[in-house]
A and B are shown apart, each in its own frame.
Chain A
Amino acid sequence: MSAISVRGLRKSYGPLVAVDGIDFDIEEGEVFGLLGPNGAGKTTTVEILEGYRSRDAGEVSVLGNDPERPGPKFRQRIGVVLQQAQLWQNVTVREAHSIFAGYYERPRNVDEVVELVGLTEKRDATVKTLSGGQKRRLDLGIALVGDPDLVFLDEPTTGFDPAARRAAWEMIRSLRSLGKTVLLTTHYLDEAEHLADRVAVLRNGRIVRVGTPRELTSADLEVEIRYRRNGEELLVRTTEPTRLLHELTSEALARGEEIEQLEVRRPTLEDVYLALVEEQDE
């Protein structure tokens, strides 16, 4: 059974269409990434699934619940890391975990969770003394302390320095080994690539591509061939690089010339992503 199933989901804020008819399924135990630029509808989608927002149309099932009218156990089974949420500044890391553990019927051991998110050394430090990365780990610990089956992570590393991001990635990967289903939103492509089993690229409220990160990059995108001729830089984009290169090189060989600054570039996931999100944006 799918952990999350979404069909024809729509949501508008006044004249602004935030989510414009999207479908996707997330399997149990899967790490699923919603990738897209700011304003693509990621947070709106996640907040509908979390039960914060109503939807205008569509069918949504989260752990067998309609999040607008969830069953009594729904919130026992989900963990939420919001994009921007603070905590009481004067409680300690351990106390914050205990506070949230108290809301659940079967919480995890508080010290174990503190250790899992790497805050054991900071367990008696107050929230206000934590760095940005440590606060984000605290957010994750609090989301996990109720031992949820499904974890929502809304842009979990936005604003992190590279080291903190790597640490956060490690933690999110560890969620998979715990068997959790994870829905992650991000506007960082490498994040989706590193963490997600499957990625849906969202643009203007629509899903423009779904697949594994590998499937997304191997999609038929044009290869760029650059070279110089008579001092002029030339750029050719082609879906048939082998044939074009063969033509170029045999021509050059026939003339006994070297092709100046020949360069062949395969699209990275970033190129695919940029092409997807920029397409028809004009």
Chain B
Amino acid sequence: MRLFLHQVRVEQLVYWRSRESAVFTFIFPLMLFLLLGSVYSGHIYGVPASQALLAALLAYGCAMVAFAGIAISLVLRREQAILKRLRATPLPPVTYVTALLASTIVVFVLETIALFALGRVVFGTPFPSRIGSVAAVVVLGAVCFSALGIGLSGLIRSGEGSSAVVNLIVLPMSFLTGAFGPTHHYPRFLRAIGDVLPLKYLVDLSNAVYLHKHAVWSKPGAIGVLLAWGVAGVVVAAFKFRWEPREG
């Protein structure tokens, strides 16, 4: 437990010190919220556009902080042999991974608070009424997308290519799943692609608990799909995750 708490503090220190991760994964969703919120007006899904965008960008924030952030930083740490160095210490691998997960949840909780605060100040969006359900969605999203991020890190070969690969996944996924705004006017086949992606279900859950004030349990299907993707991430990680850089 002492090691776990120590490692969570280490992860927090490293995350906030790294301008790339902090700006790229933390600030980006806030910035998009400001930009899109200023552009869209009127109503989406029968609620003010800014609220709908807030719910959608909450899901995007999860994809950035958990999925993109973890995948990029793990690939870099592996290729720079930071992971290899850690392996020589008494820090158990399980503690390392759980601390990384816990630290990611902390960051995403802060991201969520920042989004709601920004929305309240700039666009007058209300704070969520179902705090418990929003918290559950935040944790569920962070866990599943962290698992996917760890899995993806095992599939990316080089450190230099990692941000490119991750962006190539996160940006289209966000467009197709409604994380950048509604998709009902998209061509049918694009929506069909979006329907199989995990972010779609996090957007659904976010809409349900924030916009429609439903309990998180009102969407068991979405929870199921997200968890299934999370398990897929764990399975890929179990086979592909490596602690050491590629040779040569």
A interface with B by C-beta (< 8 Å): 50-52, 75-76, 78-80, 82, 84-91, 95, 99-100, 102-105, 142, 146
Give per-residue flags for B73-87: 1 if the beta carbon is below 8 A from chain A beta carbons, else 0. Answer: 000000011101101
Q: Looking at the complex, which of B11-19, B31-39, B138-146, B149-157 is the stretch in contact with chain A?
A: B11-19
Cross-chain contact A85 with B19 (CB below 8 angstroms): no
In the complex, the 4 A-B pairs of residues with the closest C-beta atoms, listed nearest first: A85-B81, A90-B17, A86-B80, A80-B88
Cross-chain contact B81 with A103 (CB below 8 angstroms): no
Chain A: CB-nearest residue to B245: A84
Q: How far is the CB of B217 from chain A (nearest CB, A)?
A: 40
Cross-chain contact B90 with A75 (CB below 8 angstroms): yes
Q: Could you list 21 examples of A-B contacts with CB < 8 Å?
A: A50-B88, A51-B88, A52-B88, A75-B90, A76-B90, A80-B85, A85-B84, A85-B85, A86-B81, A87-B82, A87-B85, A88-B17, A88-B18, A89-B18, A91-B17, A99-B10, A99-B13, A102-B3, A102-B6, A104-B89, A146-B90
Q: How far is the CB of B123 from chain A (nearest CB, A)?
A: 33
B interface with A by C-beta (< 8 Å): 3, 6-7, 10, 13-14, 17-19, 80-82, 84-85, 87-91, 244
> How many residue-residue contacts, CB under 8 A, span A and B?
61
Q: How far is the CB of B205 from chain A (nearest CB, A)?
A: 33
- State the CA gap A146–B85 with chains docked (Å): 13
Chain A: CB-nearest residue to B19: A90
Residues of A within 8 A of B91 (CB): 103
Residues of B within 8 A of A90 (CB): 14, 17-19
Cross-chain contact B13 with A95 (CB below 8 angstroms): yes
Residues of A within 8 A of B90 (CB): 75-76, 103-105, 146
Q: How far is the CB of B83 from chain A (nearest CB, A)?
A: 9
Q: A84-B81, A85-B85 are in contact. Are A103 and B18 (CB under 8 A)?
A: no
- State the CA gap A211–B56 with chains docked (Å): 69
- Give the residue among B13, B87, B88, B90 with the most A Cβ atoms within 10 A: B88
Residues of A within 8 A of B17 (CB): 88, 90-91
- State the CA gap A22–B88 with chains docked (Å): 24
Residues of A within 8 A of B13 (CB): 91, 95, 99
- State the CA gap A60–B157 with chains docked (Å): 33
Residues of A within 8 A of B84 (CB): 52, 82, 85
- State the CA gap A239–B14 with chains docked (Å): 62
Which of B3, B19, B80 has a CB less than 8 Å from the CB of A103?
A: B3
Residues of A within 8 A of B19 (CB): 90
Beyond the given A82-B88, A87-B80, please list 4 additional residue pairs across the A-B interface where CB-CB is below 8 A.
A52-B84, A82-B84, A86-B82, A87-B85
- State the CA gap A103–B6 with chains docked (Å): 8
- State the CA gap A142–B88 with chains docked (Å): 11
Q: How far is the CB of A126 from chain B (nearest CB, A)?
A: 8
- State the CA gap A264–B90 with chains docked (Å): 55
- State the CA gap A85–B89 with chains docked (Å): 14
- State the CA gap A2–B189 with chains docked (Å): 69
Q: How far is the CB of A7 from chain B (nearest CB, A)?
A: 24
- State the CA gap A51–B10 with chains docked (Å): 24
- State the CA gap A85–B3 with chains docked (Å): 22
Q: How far is the CB of A28 from chain B (nearest CB, A)?
A: 20
Q: How far is the CB of A143 from chain B (nearest CB, A)?
A: 8
Chain B: CB-nearest residue to A72: B90
- State the CA gap A141–B224 with chains docked (Å): 48
Residues of B within 8 A of A95 (CB): 13
- State the CA gap A86–B7 with chains docked (Å): 18
- State the CA gap A150–B84 with chains docked (Å): 18
- State the CA gap A122–B88 with chains docked (Å): 25
Chain B: CB-nearest residue to A89: B18
Cross-chain contact B6 with A52 (CB below 8 angstroms): no
Which of B3, B82, B88, B244 has a CB less than 8 Å from the CB of A88?
A: B82
Residues of B within 8 A of A104 (CB): 89-90
Cross-chain contact B80 with A146 (CB below 8 angstroms): no
Q: A50-B88, A100-B89, A103-B6 are in contact. Are A82 and B14 (CB under 8 A)?
A: no
Chain A: CB-nearest residue to B87: A52
Residues of A within 8 A of B7 (CB): 102
Q: How far is the CB of B16 from chain A (nearest CB, A)?
A: 9
- State the CA gap A88–B88 with chains docked (Å): 16
Chain B: CB-nearest residue to A78: B88
Residues of A within 8 A of B18 (CB): 88-90
Q: How far is the CB of B34 from chain A (nearest CB, A)?
A: 26
- State the CA gap A80–B244 with chains docked (Å): 15
- State the CA gap A89–B82 with chains docked (Å): 11
- State the CA gap A95–B83 with chains docked (Å): 17
